[in-house]
Structure 1
Amino acid sequence: MVEPVENTFIEGDNLDVLPTIAAGSIDLVYTDPPYNTGNDFAYADSFGHRGGGRAGRHAAWVEMMRPRLVAMRDVLADPGAVFISIDDNEAAYLRLLLDEVFGEANFLAQVVVNLNPKGRQLGKGFATSHEYLLVYARDAQRCVLDASSPDTVDAGDFPLVHADGRAFRHLPLRNTNKKFNPVTSPTLHFPVYGDPLTGRVATSHFGEAVEVWPVFGDGRPAVWRWSRPRIDERPHDLVCREISGRHGARIDVFQRDWLHREGGRRKKLRTIWLAEEVGSTDTAVAELKGLLGHVFESPKPTGLVRRILATMPADAVVLDPFAGSGTTGHAVALANAADGGTRRCISIDVAEPTRPGSNAARAGLATVADITRARLSAVAERFGGGLELR
């Protein structure tokens, strides 16, 4: 049996190519479409929105993107998600357009990505140091995206050490969210029994145990986060302690939350991604230079795409319909090499001419598609996985 290749590159206008991809066959879309900087962009469809100053440029860009977003949605599987990079020029318009195409209910996040820590120093005004990622689900109720990562776990948040050497922290067993209370969650409002001298906790009375009810800091009745059966199953993960409360000393019950737990600890990703976490435009240029030379002005760092890939299963089929320098396919190869995953990537790019006299043109790369193809070829040679060209 022939194994599927890791990277596939298709040259052509994505509006023509996307309908040839089977509906529902893609798990994850990441793409970095052309930004509207006031100059003409490659995908100049005939939608009649030319001229008219800034408003006309916005309209032309939106009408260029609309059918392509519809085509992306059509190839995306119901559990899938789409991530789109964008800057301030079109972020507001793209957000509204994605609401239209994917539905407001399927909005997941607007992430700020710190790709230029120094800030852009050219021109007037502020030194812009960020772009955005807009994240939408195909169907939020069925989406398998996991917006957490082991990389964001800070060992310093777990200052206590058990006798067996494991690091942990104490979390109140009571639910601190006041939406959960004896009225809304009556089955979780019950007494437990604890001994603050030994720390032992149980659901039935024992020895010198005292009865402990869940209460908020102001003394109002609360509920536990765990049910009776779960407390009985995991008594060694609980401890009874005397603490100083708002109204004096009281007995309470805490969970030992272990730094290293079965299945691995993950922490929810924040909506600000720093350059030291995902890379910057400078590191992205260096990555590409290491493969092909300095042939693309503003590539995305593979670290950014690898963080996105980590939110989805390791066998995801990935699509980048505006492949540019080929960062997505490169990131897929790196991710598979790191974790043994079987991700596959389809990259699409149009034969937009490179700028005369540019580094790419001088290197014999006549179009952006030539850059994509050359990078993915270099990736296949260095990391394996193969490359299919269509």
Structure 2
Amino acid sequence: MTTWNTFVEGDNLDVLTAMPEASVDLVVTDPPYNTGNDFAYVDTFRGRDGRRAGRHEAWVAFMRPRLEQMHRVLAPTGALAISIDDNEQARLRLLLDDVFGEENFLAQVVVNLNSKGRQLGSGFATNHEYLLVYSRDAKQCVLDARTTDTVDPADFPHVTDDGRAHRFLPLRNTNKKFNPVSTPTLHYPLHGDPITGRVDVEPFEGSTAFLPVFGDGAAAVWRWSVKLAAERPHDLVCREIRGLKGPRADIFQRDWLDAPGGRRKKLRTIWHHEEIGSTDTSAAELKKLIGKVFESPKPTGLVRRVLRTMPDDARVLDPFAGSGTTGHAVAMLNVEDGGTRTCVSINVAEPTRAGSAAALAGLTTVADITRARLRAVAEEVGGGLVEQVFTRPDADLSDNLPADLPAQLLP
């Protein structure tokens, strides 16, 4: 059996550089948010003129080589989903456009993790962050931004005698870009009986011929070809409806809740905490496994939603593993749907704060927290765990900002 989780302790730039090209399908990660208080690199980078780099300049310089390596290790069909808040969202978006190419931008998702909003400090009570999603190559990317999560059975109010829930969709194409001039093969008569509901491509006793028209009476087209309508007449129905000028009959498609392959719906770009979890539920998840030893972990529901957009055998990477949420989510989803996803989580042995709950629990580094969580996941959820410590000679990576740092990324 393939081990689901691998944890590597080490500097993520060193580990990423050592990884083979195109070796992962999905990167899900949550880098340092650079609040100005706890970003370890603020005092180490130097600008082009030798002055100490500002916090934004330093953060961009820190992130660039790591994003370049994430891009390198992604398969051509792969994608990246990276969390960020307002402190660096604008710079990260520009940086990703530069590294991945703006043509490979897929979405900027607003993630609502805090229903009450942050009440400390002045200004607004911020209750959202962002998830930036990019492909390695948009033309080859296999990310499917549809999900079963947001399908509401209440949207399918009609039920057949054999218990199949469905809704009625007009068979007429409502987009006026499609018309008898642009798509002439989709303008043809269908024959229906509003009393029995029967529809056929050929006339039958009691039927009336229907041509697609817009509400203003202009000629329209059907969404289905005549071949498809002939193959699936039982998915069509002739119904009488109340139109603007009184009752009239028209042709409708039965859209089934239990569609082949499972009913899926496109993800919106605002994700609410009721759907994916919150800061409270994420803290409870971690506390249940190893205690309250990490500030603001991400909920597994957020990561599982991202994971579901990719095939169920995806090779997942989290270079800023933090508390190990991504590895936890991979194991949970594999159990849920029988998938064979694998996850490599990377974390540096950054010391935990003296006197913190983590330090008092004997977890002296953030890597210890990741390791402890993934061990607990392997024990309680399954999937096993491979552990590795990655070492290499120390290298001074902070002498200067990269020479090719785009001017528009500088503060």
| 1:168 maps onto 2:154 in alignment | no
Using a 3 Å threshold, how does the CA distance of structure 1 residues 252 and 372 change in structure 2: closer, same or farther? same
Look up the match of 2:398: none
Other-structure match for 1:189: 187
Give the whole-Å Cα distance in 2 for the aligned partners of 1:167 and 1:376.
41
| Partner in structure 1 of residue 82 of structure 2 | 84
Q: Structure 2: how far apart are the matches of 1:182 and 1:48?
A: 64
Matched with 1:226 is 224
CA contact (8 A) 1:45 1:64 kept: no
Q: How far apart, in 2, do the equivalents of 1:81 and 1:355 lie?
A: 34
- Equivalent residue, structure 2, for 1:386: 384
Which runs of structure 2 are paired with 1:1-390 in the superposition (5 Å)? 3-42=1-40, 47-49=45-47, 56-390=54-388
Percent identical across equivalent pairs? 71
Q: 1:83 to 1:52 in 2, by over 3 A?
A: farther
Structure 2: distance between partners of 1:356 and 1:52: 33
| Counterpart contact for 1:88–1:131, Cα < 8 Å | yes
Alpha-carbon shift at residue 45 of structure 1 (Å): 9.4
Kept in 2: contact 1:50–1:57 (CA 8 A): no
Q: 1:42 to 1:346 in 2, by over 3 A?
A: farther
Which secondary structure does the structure 1 equivalent of 2:81 belong to? strand
- Check conservation: 1:146, 1:311, Cα contact below 8 A: yes
Q: Deviations over 1:73-114 (max 9, x none)?
A: 110011111100111111111111111111111111111111
Task: Quote how far apart the aligned CAs of 1:197 are.
Answer: 1.7
**Letter of the 1:244 counterpart:** R
CA deviation map 1:311-364 (0-9, x unaligned): 111110000000000000011111111111111000011111111111111111
Q: Distance in 2 between matches of 1:328 and 1:42?
A: 23
Give the residue type in structure 2 aligned to 1:143.
Answer: C
CA displacement at 1:246 relative to structure 2: 3.2
- Decide whether the 8 Å contact of 1:50 with 1:60 is kept in 2: no
Q: Name the stretch that deviates more: 224-233 or 33-42.
A: 33-42
Distance 1:334 1:50, change over 3 A: farther
CA-CA distance at 1:245 after TM superposition: 2.7
* Distance (Å, rounded) in 2 between the aligned partners of 1:297 and 1:257: 45
SS of structure 2 residue aligned to 1:34: coil
Aligned residue type for 1:191: P
Superposed displacement of residue 12, structure 1: 1.1
In 1, distance between residues paired with 2:15 and 2:146?
A: 33
Report the residue type matching 2:152 in the other structure: D
Letter in 1 for 2:267: L
Deviation of residue 148 (structure 1)? 1.3
Distance 1:363 1:246, change over 3 A: same
Change (3 A) 1:58 1:44: closer
Aligned partner letter, 1:364: G
Residue 207 of structure 1 deviates from its aligned partner by 1.6
Counterpart of 2:77 in 1: which secondary structure? Answer: strand
Q: CA deviation at 1:55?
A: 8.8
CA 313–40 in structure 1, closer or farther in 2 if over 3 Å, else same: same
Q: Conserved in 1, the CA contact under 8 Å of 2:45 and 2:52?
A: no
Q: Which moved more, 1:261-270 or 1:355-364?
A: 261-270
User: Gaps spanning 5+ residues in structure 2: where?
Assistant: 389-411
